[in-house]
Amino acid sequence: MTDKGGLLDRQQRFSRVILNGFYAYFAEFENITLAARTRFEQAEWASMQEISSQRIDVYKETVMETLGVARHIAGEQIENLRFWAETRLIYAKLVQGMTNFEIAETFYNSIFNSHFGHRSIRNDYAFVFSPQGDVPSVDIGRVVRHYGVTEGLSSAFTQLLSDFAFNIPYEHLSRDVDGICRAIEKHLSGRFDLNCPGLELQVLEHHFFRNKASYIVGRLYADGEQMPFVLPMLHNDSSTDPAVLVDAFVFGSDQVSLLFSFTRSYFMVDASIPSQYVLFLQQLMPKKEISEIYSAIGHFRHGKTYFYRTATRHISSTADQFIVAPGIKGMVMTVFTLPSYEYVFKIIKDRFTPPKEVTHQIVKDKYHLVKRWDRAGRMADTQEFNNLVFDASRFSDELMEELHATCSSQIKINGRALIIKHCYVERRMNPLNLYLQEATDEEVVDVMNDYGNAIKELAAANIFPGDMLLKNFGVTRHGRVVFYDYDEIEPLLDCNFRRIPEPRDEADEMSGQPWYSVGPKDIFPEEFRLFFSGNKRARAAFDAQHADLYDADFWIRLQNKLRDGFVEDFYPYPRRVRFSTLQDVS
């Protein structure tokens, strides 16, 4: 007979171990986050990138450490789903009323999924849905600072910046305040009531850090109306007279949303109760998914949980069918989507279309690399899922045929359920090659300029896209070009850029095969022109603006800078709004 008292004690200890594991993870997450301030003040940019990756890794590391202890306590009961169901009830009581219960529940899910390999996922055993709701009921006001504007904007922003001062001085505080006020007068005087008696600045209490910048995030607020804004702050990179300067005044939901884009690395911000920040940020950016906001401040695992919940609800509330995603079919991935949904699902094919020679594991490794790398605003973040269950009747006949033909090993039919064993989910974008088909001449010039900038910015972040075909890039709703095909990406420093040698004789010149040796890492930029075959408008627009990318010297110079420790500036806002360039903007 089972000792019920002994089993209950084991379940309680099991639950407490998982909760203690969560506490350990969250404490380490915050410790790493708090280090960002010192890194910024000391201009330690390489170290900033290192701790950003470290913070991503600490989640899985803590989960596996916790699972090891939990398995020891549970013993043979670890395989018993009834044990998990009863443990879930105990854990739910432990976290009931916690301000961070949603993150703690996701941590429990990670323990469950890590043991069962993402099988048997049911709300009875894990927190597929939370008994306490999606977001804690928290007081946003506790993390918001208020600055009245009764004595004018200049006085209010002077006080704000003084309160957000670092351990190094401002380079020129009055100049920066003047720049902010001039930008507000120029851009907002006709769009927002700046003379309202109740006007105030409302800002989140801590800096946001990412790469080489710090940000103050808030809004102008009066009588229920708001104008979101962000103040990006930079280090002057001086070793003798280090100082901070305000670089721009970024305003409006769309521009602020770009800073929190799914194409950028996660922020570091001292948010001990993440939901307070998430809810305030969602007010600033009402079009942005809450799941994306959780991810943007570093809680990407809970962002995935929240995404799954909203996706499940959306699919349940709609009747349209999943279809093959529009565009040219990929050599490595089968991609499908739901027309009423803004995401695509990507499954690694069983066999890759020649000349692709990668393996399933290599593709997974590439996607993992992107998660940890500086995405520079040019690579889409993804959510990785195992054993994702769908209603098979929602899949079109064409899509079902495509799945069976290209990735049958990754799907399983169980009654009405279609189980996808492994897939990635990412924001749906308009493929660049399709965008160009409908674009005006002016739009072609603009988008090809941004395509070239995307390649250069990825390269500056030590990423070489590999396959730069237009179909592997997408255009966001903001008109920004983003890379989303990762199976051939490489660190730029691992590539060997070469010029094509001159033919030795007529036979070389007429040969259909290379007359020179080609190593596995050799890249010949002159061949990039082939990526535009069939689209003369795109080729002409690109050549006029980015012909330097055809030159091996361009890439070699950039490699040398990276080897010297250079870290590029990536501005997640238009250059025209920077105070240093305002005088050049009419």
Three-state SS string over 541-567 comes to HHHHHHHHHHCHHHHHHHHHHHHCCCC
Domain C-terminal end among 372, 393, 428 = 428
Weakest-pLDDT range from 29-38, 305-314, 457-466: 457-466
C-alpha separations of 40 from 165, 175, 296 in Å: 12, 21, 19
Beta strand spans in 117-160 (E): 144-148
Please tell me whether residues 156 and 242 are part of one structural domain: yes
Classify 295 as helix, strand or coil: helix
Which of these, 211, 490, 496, 522, lies nearest to 370 by C-alpha position?
490
Which of these, 258, 260, 346, lies nearest to 300 by C-alpha position?
260
Which of these, 280, 278, 273, lies nearest to 292 by C-alpha position?
278
* Element housing 218 (H / E): strand 213-222
The pLDDT of residue 257 is: 95
Is 44 exposed, middle or buried, given 0-12, 13-18 or 19+ CB atoms closer than 10 A? Answer: middle
The pLDDT of residue 376 is: 82
Q: Give 149's DSSP letter.
A: -
- Residues 499-537: tens digit of each pLDDT: 988 877 666 666 767 777 788 899 999 989 887 767 889
Please tell me whether residues 186 and 306 are part of one structural domain: yes
Please tell me whether residues 57 and 23 are part of one structural domain: yes
Contact 266, 298 (CB under 8 A): yes
Which pair of tokens denotes residue 221?
């607020």
Q: CA angle at residue 141 from 139 to 143, to 5 degrees? A: 100
The pLDDT of residue 182 is: 95
pLDDT reading at 586 higher than 70: no
Q: How many helices (H) and strands (E) does the chain have?
A: 17, 21
CA–CA separation, 563 and 112 (whole Å): 42
- Residues 209-219: tens digit of each pLDDT: 999 999 999 99
Q: Give 125's DSSP letter.
A: T
Asked if residue 227 belongs to a domain, the reply is yes
Residue matched to tokens 């048997």? 120
% of the chain surpassing 70 pLDDT = 96
The pLDDT of residue 168 is: 97
The number of distinct structural domains making up the chain is 4
**Helix intervals (H) in 285-357:** 290-296, 300-316
Asked if residue 382 belongs to a domain, the reply is yes
Asked if residue 146 belongs to a domain, the reply is yes
CA–CA separation, 111 and 107 (whole Å): 6
The pLDDT of residue 584 is: 38
The pLDDT of residue 358 is: 79
Please tell me whether residues 493 and 372 are part of one structural domain: no
Q: Write out the residue range of the structural domain in which residue 452 sits.
A: 432-576
**Mean pLDDT across the stretch 559-583?**
84
Please tell me whether residues 144 and 285 are part of one structural domain: yes
- Residues 70-91: tens digit of each pLDDT: 999 999 999 999 999 999 999 9
Domain C-terminal end among 262, 284, 314 = 314
Asked if residue 476 belongs to a domain, the reply is yes
Please tell me whether residues 416 and 441 are part of one structural domain: no
> Which conformational region is residue 434 in: left (phi greater than 0), alpha (psi within -120 to 50 degrees), or beta?
alpha
The pLDDT of residue 583 is: 42
Domain C-terminal end among 412, 428, 444 = 428
Contact 233, 40 (CB under 8 A): no
Residue 344 backbone dihedrals phi, psi, to 5 degrees: -120, 155
The pLDDT of residue 354 is: 76
Please tell me whether residues 151 and 271 are part of one structural domain: yes
CA–CA separation, 305 and 311 (whole Å): 10
Please tell me whether residues 436 and 419 are part of one structural domain: no
Asked if residue 421 belongs to a domain, the reply is yes
Asked if residue 129 belongs to a domain, the reply is no
pLDDT reading at 477 higher than 90: no
Q: CA angle at residue 166 from 165 to 169, to 5 degrees? A: 85
% of the chain surpassing 90 pLDDT = 78
Please tell me whether residues 46 and 184 are part of one structural domain: no
The pLDDT of residue 1 is: 41
**Mean pLDDT across the stretch 2-17?**
84
The pLDDT of residue 4 is: 66
Please tell me whether residues 478 and 553 are part of one structural domain: yes
Asked if residue 125 belongs to a domain, the reply is no
Please tell me whether residues 412 and 472 are part of one structural domain: no
Please tell me whether residues 447 and 374 are part of one structural domain: no
Q: Is 254 a catalytic residue?
A: no
Q: Give 321's DSSP letter.
A: P
- Residues 97-127: tens digit of each pLDDT: 999 999 999 999 999 999 998 787 889 999 9
Catalytic residue, candidates 381, 450, 485, 487: 381
Asked if residue 166 belongs to a domain, the reply is yes
Per the model's pLDDT, the better-predicted residue between 398 and 582 turns out to be 398
CA–CA separation, 363 and 367 (whole Å): 6
Mean pLDDT value across the chain: 92
CA–CA separation, 207 and 37 (whole Å): 8
